[in-house]
C-alpha cells in the first residue's frame, strides 16, 4: 500500500510539473514522441492505447508517436517499458529545362569555397576528390520546382527522394507525401544543396564543395521552413535504412541537417544513434541563437556541429568590380582574416560545438515566388555553414569509405585552423564598419580546412 501511495504521489508531482512546463490545460491534445526500453509489442501498444492514440511506429529504434491529452504524458513516462516521452519538439530552417552541364567541378570559385580551401581562386579545385560515389542526404525543405535549372539532374537521387510531413501539435502522425520534395516554396533546402553540389548561375557553372556527390533530398520541414522532431527522426531512420538495405551499394552516406531547436528530443536522439551505429555520418548547424546557446540536434555530441564564420573581405572594395565570385582569400589561411558571426550559437555547458565554416553572406539559388525565373540570394546562418562541412566529409569518405562519425569529427577538429577569441572590424554591405567579437565558446576547434582534413584522412 505504501509503495502504491508513493507511486501515486510521484505521478501527481510529474503531472504538476508537466502542466507547468507545457503551459497547457490538462485536457489539451498534443503530439508526443515515446522511446521504449524494449521492443514494440502488441501488449505494449494495447497498454499505450489506453492513454491515447498511437500513430507512427519506428521499430528500428523502438519508438513511436502518439496523440494524448497533456494529463496523460506523466502517466506514460511512468510506465515500466517507457525510456522517455516528450512533446514533439519544433524544428526550424514542374519539369523545366535540364542543366546541360553534368559536372560543376570546373566551375567558378566563390569566396566561401576558397576560404575552406576546396578551391583556389584562379587555379580551380585544390584536391582530386570531388565526392564521387558518396550520397549526401539533405534533410531540409526539399527542392524548388525548377531545381533542374540549378542542378545537374544526375546529381539528385530522385528515386530515393522523400517527403515526411506532419507531427507535433494536434496532428500527431507523420505522413509521406509523394513528390512534394520537389515542390518546395521555401527555397532553404535548395540553397543548402547548392553549397554541396554547386549550381548553374544563368549558364555559368559555380563550383560546389563536393560537386560529384549524389544528393538525396528528404523533406522534413514544411513550406514555412519549420517542422517537428518526429518528422526529422523519420527522415534520419529512412536514410539509415537505405544504407542498411544495400540499395545504395557500398557508398558512404552523409546526412546534412541545417535545422534545429532548443531541446534534444529523445526519439530524434535515438534515430541519430541508430544512424551513427550503422555508419552514417551526421553534420548539423549549431543554431542562430547567439549567447542563448546551441540548437539540437547539432549540440548532441555524436553530431558534427558547425558554427558560422565570416571573412573580413566579403564586402571590402578591392577594385576591378571584385565580387563574391572573384574574390581571392589569401593563402595560407590566416585566422586574423576571419570572424564568428554575432548570430552563431555559442556552446553552453553540456553542448558540443565542433568546427566553424562560412555562414555569412553565402550566395546560392533562392526563390521568393513559385515562378519559372532563376533567382539568387545572399543568405547568412549556420544553415549555410553546415553544408560546407557535410561536403568536406563527403570528400573525406570518398578517400576512405571506412571512416566512422567519431573519426571524421576528430580529423576535422585536429586539422582545423584555431580561431582564438577576439574582435574584427567587418565591413557591412551598407559600407559601415561593425565590430564582431566572440569568446572561446563560439568557435569549436576552429576554422574547417578541406585540404588539411583530406591530408589527415588515412
Instruction: Pick the catalytic residue from 383, 385, 386, 415.
Output: 383
In 3D, which of 450, 453, 426 has the Cα closest to residue 437? 426
232 and 259 in contact (C-beta within 8 Å)? yes
How many CA atoms within 13 Å lie on the side-chain side of 131? 32
3-state secondary structure of 8: helix
In 3D, which of 96, 118, 117 has the Cα closest to residue 105? 118
In 3D, which of 334, 358, 356 has the Cα closest to residue 441? 356
In 3D, which of 149, 135, 51 has the Cα closest to residue 95? 149
Burial (0-12, 13-18, 19+ Cβ within 10 Å), 322: middle
Instruction: Pick the catalytic residue from 109, 163, 188, 305.
Output: 188
Residues in the chain: 458
The verdict on whether 140 is a catalytic residue reads yes
- β-strand partners of 184: 144
| CB neighbour list of residue 416: distance below 8 Å, 6 or more residues apart | 355, 356, 444, 445, 446, 447, 448, 449, 452
Separation between Cα atoms, residue 252 and residue 190, nearest integer Å = 22
CB burial of 162-175 (b: ≥16 within 10 Å; e: otherwise) equals bbbbbbbeebbbbe
CA separation (Å) from 367 to 138, 309, 379? 18, 24, 12
The verdict on whether 114 is a catalytic residue reads no
3-state secondary structure of 29: strand
Separation between Cα atoms, residue 257 and residue 248, nearest integer Å = 20
Separation between Cα atoms, residue 329 and residue 296, nearest integer Å = 32
Region class of 309: left (phi > 0), else alpha (psi between -120 and 50), else beta:
beta
| Grid cell for residue 171 | 496532428
| Grid cell for residue 193 | 544543396
The verdict on whether 188 is a catalytic residue reads yes
Grid coordinates 512534394 are at which residue?
180
Instruction: Pick the catalytic residue from 88, 140, 145, 441.
Output: 140
**In 10 A of CB 38, how many CB atoms?**
11
| Grid cell for residue 1 | 500500500
Which of the residues are catalytic? Answer: 140, 188, 383
Amino acid at each position: 500500500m505504501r509503495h502504491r501511495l508513493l507511486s501515486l504521489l510521484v505521478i501527481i508531482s510529474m503531472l504538476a510539473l508537466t502542466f507547468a512546463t507545457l503551459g497547457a490545460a490538462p485536457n489539451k491534445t498534443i503530439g508526443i514522441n515515446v522511446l521504449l526500453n524494449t521492443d514494440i509489442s502488441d501488449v505494449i501498444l494495447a497498454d499505450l492505447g489506453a492513454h491515447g492514440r498511437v500513430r507512427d511506429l519506428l521499430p528500428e529504434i523502438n519508438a513511436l508517436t502518439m496523440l494524448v491529452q497533456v494529463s496523460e504524458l506523466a502517466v506514460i513516462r511512468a510506465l515500466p517499458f517507457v525510456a522517455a516521452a516528450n512533446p514533439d519538439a519544433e524544428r526550424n530552417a514542374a519539369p523545366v529545362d535540364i542543366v546541360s552541364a553534368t559536372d560543376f567541378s570546373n566551375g567558378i570559385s566563390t569566396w566561401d569555397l576558397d576560404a575552406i580551401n576546396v578551391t583556389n581562386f584562379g587555379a580551380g579545385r585544390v584536391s582530386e576528390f570531388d565526392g564521387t560515389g558518396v550520397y549526401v542526404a539533405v534533410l531540409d525543405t526539399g527542392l524548388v520546382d525548377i531545381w533542374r535549372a540549378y542542378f545537374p539532374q544526375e546529381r539528385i537521387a530522385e528515386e530515393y527522394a522523400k517527403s515526411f510531413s506532419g507531427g507535433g501539435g494536434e496532428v500527431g502522425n507523420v505522413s509521406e507525401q509523394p513528390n512534394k520534395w520537389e515542390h518546395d516554396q521555401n527555397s532553404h533546402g535548395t540553397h543548402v544543396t547548392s553549397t554541396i553540389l554547386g549550381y548553374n548561375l544563368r549558364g555559368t557553372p559555380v563550383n560546389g564543395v563536393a560537386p560529384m556527390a549524389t544528393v538525396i533530398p528528404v523533406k522534413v520541414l514544411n513550406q514555412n521552413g519549420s517542422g517537428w522532431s518526429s518528422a526529422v527522426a523519420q527522415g534520419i531512420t529512412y536514410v539509415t535504412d537505405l544504407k542498411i538495405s544495400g540499395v545504395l551499394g557500398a557508398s558512404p552516406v552523409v546526412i546534412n541537417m541545417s535545422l534545429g531547436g532548443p531541446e534534444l528530443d529523445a526519439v530524434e536522439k535515438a534515430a541519430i544513434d541508430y544512424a551513427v551505429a550503422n555508419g552514417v555520418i551526421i553534420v548539423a548547424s549549431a543554431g542562430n541563437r547567439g549567447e542563448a546557446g546551441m540548437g539540437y540536434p547539432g549540440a548532441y555530441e555524436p553530431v558534427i556541429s558547425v558554427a558560422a564564420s565570416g571573412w573580413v573581405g566579403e564586402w571590402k572594395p578591392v577594385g576591378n568590380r571584385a565580387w563574391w565570385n572573384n574574390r581571392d582569400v589569401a593563402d595560407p589561411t590566416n585566422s586574423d582574416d576571419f570572424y564568428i558571426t554575432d548570430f552563431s550559437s555559442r556552446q553552453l555547458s553540456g553542448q558540443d560545438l565542433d568546427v566553424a565554416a562560412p555562414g555569412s553572406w553565402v550566395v546560392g539559388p533562392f526563390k521568393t515566388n513559385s515562378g519559372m525565373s532563376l533567382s539568387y540570394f545572399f543568405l547568412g546562418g549556420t544553415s549555410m555553414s553546415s553544408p560546407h562541412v557535410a561536403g568536406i566529409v563527403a570528400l573525406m569518405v570518398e578517400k576512405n569509405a571506412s571512416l566512422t562519425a567519431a573519426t571524421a569529427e576528430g580529423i576535422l577538429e585536429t586539422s582545423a585552423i584555431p580561431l582564438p577569441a577576439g574582435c574584427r572590424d567587418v565591413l557591412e554591405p551598407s559600407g559601415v564598419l561593425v565590430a564582431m567579437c566572440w569568446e572561446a565558446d563560439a568557435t569549436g576547434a576552429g576554422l574547417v580546412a578541406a585540404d588539411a582534413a583530406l591530408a589527415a584522412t588515412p
